[in-house]
Amino acid sequence: MQSSASDNQLNVILVDIEGTTTPVEFVYETLFPYASANIESFLREHSGDQEIESLIEQLHIQYNNDKREEKLQLLLPPWIEDNDESQLRSAVEYSKWLITKDIKHTALKSLQGKIWEEGYNMGEIRGIVYRDVPPAFKRWTKQKRLICIYSSGSVLAQQLLFRTVASGDLTAYIGAFYDTRAGPKTQSESYRKIAESLACNPHNVLFISDTMKEIKAAQGAGMQPILCIRDSKDYHLPETNIVIIRSFDEVFPG
């Protein structure tokens, strides 16, 4: 791996999850279906909890925003507020709809995070990372680099994933977790904010992701980006001067 800044200046490594530390399939084939299947029972079990009530309220606000958007209007399931039961059913249907559309609203992410938390705690779900991830986290920590995560999944969901991987808890290696509360992953401003919250210059941050839009946004903020391409054999390499890796083994091998 070559980099423009000298290696020891890159003392923060900011890492994406989906498609970078973890196969995308884990999210689409395990996490999302688990949340969808359990959303109704979860809301019923926790109805009356203030936190859950407030999440439903936030979902409803988001629903009303979506309703004002012409392209979504006709596609949205109805939201009926006649009584607690219809309110709950509406929240369930809207949440499922958001999951199938892969729309990442913060309230939904928090709700999914709580459902996954139960699943992880009951051992029904376990976090998955690529084989090169645990040794890289250990190596970079030994090199005194700070490892941080930036993913659109909620911070809670991120922590649960890294806590339960088969090789052992990886959260001890992670200095900070960021989700969409830091802003969208495709906007440079989000990366500036993250660097600011770490009290470091964006030039000292290495950002690893499988998504070109995120790479561009991080680069726009002054970070040093690396495009991580995992297993798509026929992937057309974008015409770019961005550093491309296939495994974390290539990043600061020590």
CB of 163 to Mg ion, least distance (A): 20
CB of 73 to Mg ion, least distance (A): 30
Instruction: Between 18 and 66, name the residue whose CB sits nearer to Mg ion.
Output: 18
Nearest Cα residue to 130 out of 242, 251, 4, 239 = 251
Contact 233, 40 (CB under 8 A): no
Instruction: Between 105 and 185, name the residue whose CB sits nearer to Mg ion.
Output: 185
Q: What is the size of the binding site for Mg ion (CB under 5 A)?
A: 5
Q: How far apart (Å, rounded) are the C-alpha atoms in residues 39 and 71?
A: 26
Instruction: Between 78 and 184, name the residue whose CB sits nearer to Mg ion.
Output: 184
Distances (CA, A) of 217 to 190, 209, 235: 8, 11, 21
Instruction: Between 92 and 99, name the residue whose CB sits nearer to Mg ion.
Output: 99
CB of 223 to Mg ion, least distance (A): 15
Nearest Cα residue to 115 out of 59, 40, 58 = 40
- 11-50 binders of Mg ion (CB under 5 A): 16, 18-19
Kindly write out the interface string for residues 185-224 of this chain, putting x where it contacts Mg ion by CB under 5 A and - elsewhere.
Answer: -------------------------xx-------------
Instruction: Between 66 and 210, name the residue whose CB sits nearer to Mg ion.
Output: 210
Nearest Cα residue to 16 out of 101, 130, 118, 163 = 130
Beta strand residue intervals within 74-204, DSSP E: 146-150, 174-178
CB of 238 to Mg ion, least distance (A): 15
CB of 66 to Mg ion, least distance (A): 24
The three-class DSSP label of residue 163 is: helix
CB of 217 to Mg ion, least distance (A): 12
Tell me the CB-side half-sphere exposure of residue 70, using CA atoms within 13 A: 0
Q: How far apart (Å, rounded) are the C-alpha atoms in residues 100 and 93?
A: 11
Is position 179 an interface residue for Mg ion (rule: CB under 5 A)?
Answer: no
Binding site for Mg ion (CB under 5 A): 16, 18-19, 210-211
